Copies of this chain bind each other. A is one copy, B any other.
Amino acid sequence: MLQQKGYKSTNQREEILNILFENKNEHLSCEDVHKIISKEKKDIGIATVYRTLQLFEKLGIVYKINFDDGVTRYELNTEAENHHHHHLICTQCGKVTEVKLDLLESLEHEIEIEEGFVVSDHDAKFYGICKECKNKEK
């Protein structure tokens, strides 16, 4: 991995990166990552997990997200899609799913014209009832 931006490649950093890859569609908190590490026999100090994820964020490897549950979560920045971050949060069961649709471009364009604000990224959360919960109601 390209830690050749002036940072060293260490076992801890590689391990944490692995975990992020293996849980691509999760939104892990530092605590979560640390628990997974513990389960896999290895052991890394929780402080290192915090420091590493902060570093990864600075380097653009992960994004920070917050679902108002009291902890900061991170997700891999899969630069395949350009910028993104659309989450559907079910207010009934709490499930979080991702959406790929990127219709915010027109909105961003409008913001740029109306407000003179140059958008470089966004983070959108939609609250509502997911398909499963909706079906259950019937």
Show the binding face of A for B, using Cβ within 8 Å: 64, 66, 68, 72, 88, 90-91, 97, 99, 101, 103-104, 106-108, 110-111, 114-131, 134
Contacts and interface: CB of A to CB of B under 8 A. Distances in A.
A88 B115 contact: yes
A86 to B, nearest CB: 8
A127 B122 contact: yes
Contact of A116 (B72, B127, B134): B134
Contact of A101 (B72, B110, B127, B134): B110
Copy number in the complex reads: 2
28 contacts: A66-B66, A66-B68, A90-B117, A101-B110, A103-B107, A103-B110, A104-B104, A104-B124, A108-B126, A111-B126, A115-B131, A116-B131, A117-B126, A117-B129, A117-B130, A118-B128, A118-B129, A119-B126, A119-B127, A119-B128, A120-B127, A120-B128, A120-B129, A122-B125, A122-B127, A123-B124, A123-B127, A124-B125
Contacts of A131: 115-117
A116 B90 CA distance: 12
Contact of A99 (B72, B91, B115): B115
Nearest to A129: B118
Contact of A111 (B91, B101, B122): B101
